[in-house]
Chains A and B, each alone.
Chain A
Amino acid sequence: MLEGVIITSAVLGVLGCVIALILNFAGDKFYVSINEKTEKIIEVLPGNNCGGCGYAGCSALAEAISNGTAAPNACPVGGSELAKEIAKITGKKAVDTKRMVAFVHCGGDCVKSVRKGDYSGSSSCISAKAVQGNGGKACLSGCMGYGTCVDVCEFGALSIKNGISVVDKEKCRACGKCIKVCPNSLISFVPYDAAVTVKCSSQERGAVVKSQCSVGCLGCTLCTKQCPVNAIQMNGNVARIDYSLCTSCGACAEKCPSKCIIVNTVQ
């Protein structure tokens, strides 16, 4: 009886020692050195793996930053504060980044835009775009309001208000997912403090736009002539503002006949 116990514990004891030796050896042999910098950067990054930076996730970005392939300000979610923190870790100088937010270039809500038909299929913008009629809207490039952008936003920054998608710029972290998913390509980045924005993307001629929406860009080019610093260019039939030049004077919004250039009041 006692003999059996002694033999068992001896065998197990020896076996344990052997395995411990092997593990110890393997641990030394296959040691993966983790960069201290990378670990520190992972700690400060937001950690929601949104992919807005273009890398597979936060740890992939951290590695890229620590080996120098990505800039300290590469995380769009963290903004300049995070960039400063990362710069401290990496010892590089932080470039001051301008905070960008997504903006939906359509103002044709239920009241202002004309409807032409009833859409009754699958309630996603991508599916609605596959059939004629832009989800029942007369304007073929306007926001359909089925909220595919709202679905993809991880920060709850988008919502459907009055039939069109609206970005809450306080919540927006500029990951760019909504921009990729919008089938009408209505969303783009504008600076957080942009004073004026063009709320239309229709490439139709003025007369057609007028018949479809009361706040559509008519392509009259009045704003381009009004701008003292030539910051407004016509992109086809719709005005677009170059924010690197814009001085936020608001002269364009004042003259816009269809009021599709809006002044963003400070919230």
Chain B
Amino acid sequence: MRFFKGGVHPYDGKELSKNKPVSKLDAGEELVFPMQQHIGAPAAPCLKKGDSVLVGQIIGTASGFVSANILSSVSGTVKALEPRAIDNGTKVMSVVVTNDFEYRTVEGFGKDKSYEDMDRDSFLEAVKNAGIVGMGGANFPAHIKLAADPEKIDRIIVNASECEPYLTSDYRAMLERAEEIIGGLSVILHFFPKASGVIAVEDNKSDAAEHIQSLIGGQKNISLKVLQTKYPQGAERMLIYAVTGRQINSKMLPADAGCIVHNIDTVCSIYRAICKSIPSIRRIITVTGDAITNPQNFDAPLGMSFREVVDAAGGFKTNPQKIISGGPMMGKSISSLDIPITKGTTSVLALTKDQASAKSSNCIRCGRCVKACPEHLVPQKISVLAAERQYDEFIKWNGTECVGCGCCSYVCPAKRPLSQEISTARAKSIQLLKSRK
């Protein structure tokens, strides 16, 4: 078994919600659809205040090459077009829709279709129209990944490793939607005839792996790969290395290593968009943490507020000290629950004991961060450069290769905010490099 150097084994907290089946949530009165739910240019709102909306209707159109459509998950009327706060702390232009609870759909919504007679361009167009982006949290528009040259791609990897602690949405999807996963992978493989499909699962989810294996049956071009459980196994670079032995860096795309990596939920979305004509309007979200009364997994409509999902999980048992959008390692700490669920929201995590707030002290040069870094960096050194805003030096020490996994901060005995400083400086350095071009 191949595995990467470094990494950590954090407490995974998955037992809180792993045995709770995915339950469907219905939208509330008001839904907020931010126009920036993906990497790239924000979508342009194509409706006015007072317009009526149908389920599955495009309310924001992709406005650039790297961009994605935003679709409505309910029917109703547009209440407002205004900037609203999202989980990364900024305010982005959003379409606010008042739900009329009638769920009138656009024409052809939910109609069974066959992909066999579809050509490549109409497949990419269909994925683009459905507004599908990477659902694992990075939100890269799926149609751009799939536009890679089919001659050069030999692996389609379905990322089902879910290495991030506490999250169980992918695990539940494997148990409950395995047909959709394999169906989605078959659709992609149809358009990449030279590639073989690999579903990569960590070995702590063996029951899900067995279930998938039984469904794969005798299909030759799809296989299951069981990986070692170690954080961040699910990071794209680590995953490609574990599956193929090929290594990529920040200047390369997975396609350069002959791979396309899709999250499990993205593959399900592709299946639904192509075979069932249902665009990306819902996602599976884990509501968990020791401050939540009844941790569980929901199939929630996009645009619903965090508050509604937390309430659906029974609200808070005790007063949470930290609420995180996403997992504890790479998620974003949030200060308000009045933000909408977007395509990249994997979980709402409410913790009582705030481990991150421990006071940081001086670096003792123990080197644990160096040992833990899966990208072979020296977090101790580059975090100092980051804090001093020496971005040129930061680039020289390959700070831009950081994947932001947070292993360094996790192992630091002095509780230094290494990952935060490095990722802030990384963003600045990339801006700097772009401005020099």
Contacts and interface: CB of A to CB of B under 8 A. Distances in A.
B88 A122 contact: no
A215 B274 CA distance: 54
B89 A120 contact: no
A41 B229 CA distance: 66
B80 interface: no
Contact of B334 (A118, A129, A132, A134): A132
Given A129-B89, A130-B89, A134-B89, A121 B420 contact: yes
Interface string A127-165: 101111110100010000000000000000000000000
B319 interface: no
B385 to A, nearest CB: 13
Interface string B408-427: 00000000010011011001
A104 B88 CA distance: 25
B154 to A, nearest CB: 37
Contacts of A118: 357
Interface string A103-125: 00000000000001110111010
B132 to A, nearest CB: 26
A209 B428 CA distance: 30
A120 B417 CA distance: 9
Nearest to A127: B424
A126 interface: yes
B356 interface: yes
Contact of A127 (B334, B339, B356, B417): B417
Contacts of B424: 122, 124, 126-127, 130
B85 A130 contact: no
Contacts of B88: 131-132
Given A120-B354, A140-B91, A133 B387 contact: no
Given A118-B357, A122-B387, A132 B89 contact: yes
Contact of B335 (A124, A126, A136): A136
Contacts of B333: 131-133
Contacts of B339: 132
Nearest to A129: B89
Contacts of A120: 354, 356-357
Interface in B166-218: none
Contacts of A116: 335-336
Interface in B152-174: none
A181 B428 CA distance: 11
Interface string B370-413: 00000000000000000101000000000000000000000000
Given A120-B354, A121-B356, A140-B91, A133 B335 contact: yes
Size category, A interface = 10 to 19
A116 B89 CA distance: 13
Nearest to B325: A132
B332 interface: yes
A132 B91 contact: no
B356 A132 contact: no
B87 interface: yes
A69 B8 CA distance: 57
A134 B336 CA distance: 12
A132 B333 CA distance: 7
Contact of A132 (B85, B357, B387, B423): B85
B85 A122 contact: no
A19 B333 CA distance: 70
Contacts of B91: 140
A147 to B, nearest CB: 13
B421 A127 contact: yes
Nearest to B359: A120
A117 B323 CA distance: 11
Given A121-B356, A126-B428, A133 B336 contact: yes
Interface string B313-336: 000000000000000000011111
Contacts of A130: 89, 420, 423-424, 427
A185 to B, nearest CB: 13
A133 B88 CA distance: 9
Nearest to B428: A126
A140 to B, nearest CB: 7
A118 B334 CA distance: 10
Nearest to B356: A120
Contacts of A127: 417, 420-421, 424
Most buried by A among B85, B332, B333, B427: B333
B427 A122 contact: no
B253 to A, nearest CB: 25
B89 A133 contact: yes
Most buried by A among B356, B421, B424: B424
Interface string A3-33: 0000000000000000000000000000000
A43 B313 CA distance: 71
A114 to B, nearest CB: 12
A210 B208 CA distance: 52
B422 to A, nearest CB: 10
A127 B427 CA distance: 11
B336 A132 contact: yes
Most buried by B among A116, A120, A132, A136: A132
Nearest to B416: A122
A148 to B, nearest CB: 8
B335 A132 contact: yes
Nearest to B423: A130
Nearest to B418: A122
A121 B334 contact: no
B48 to A, nearest CB: 20
Given A117-B335, A120-B357, 10 more contacts: A122-B421, A127-B420, A127-B421, A127-B424, A130-B423, A132-B87, A132-B88, A132-B89, A140-B91, A181-B389
Interface of A: 116-118, 120-122, 124, 126-127, 129-134, 136, 140, 181
5 tightest A-B CB contacts, nearest first: A133-B335, A132-B89, A120-B357, A117-B335, A122-B417
21 contacts: A116-B335, A116-B336, A117-B335, A120-B354, A120-B356, A121-B417, A121-B420, A122-B424, A124-B387, A124-B424, A127-B417, A127-B420, A127-B424, A130-B89, A131-B89, A131-B333, A132-B87, A132-B89, A132-B336, A133-B334, A181-B389
